[in-house]
Amino acid sequence: MWSLGVIMYEILTLRKPFYAKNLRTLSRKVLRAKYPPFPKYYSFSITKVISSLLQREPSHRPSALSLLTLPQLLVHIPLEYKHSLLRVLYPSVYSPLYIMEANYLYTPPCVTNDM
pLDDT digits (tens, 9 = 90+) for 92-109: 555 555 555 555 555 555
Mean pLDDT (the chain, rounded): 80
The amino acid that residue 93 corresponds to is V
| Same domain membership, residue 37 and residue 13 | yes
Q: What does the pLDDT average to over 80-92?
A: 69
| Same domain membership, residue 57 and residue 18 | yes
Q: Answer whether residue 65 shows pLDDT above 70.
A: yes
pLDDT band at 29 (very low <50, low <70, confident <90, very high): very high
Instruction: 91-98: list long-range contacts, CB under 8 Å, 24+ apart.
Output: none
| Same domain membership, residue 38 and residue 14 | yes
CA–CA distance, 36 with 45 (Å, rounded to integer): 17
The residue segments making up the domain with residue 101 are 75-115
Q: What is the pLDDT of residue 28?
A: 94
SS3 helix, strand, coil % of the chain, rounded to 5?
60, 0, 40
Share of the chain above pLDDT 70, in %: 73
Answer whether residue 70 is part of any domain. no
| Same domain membership, residue 84 and residue 44 | no
- Looking at the structure of the chain, the number of domains it has is 2
Answer whether residue 37 is part of any domain. yes
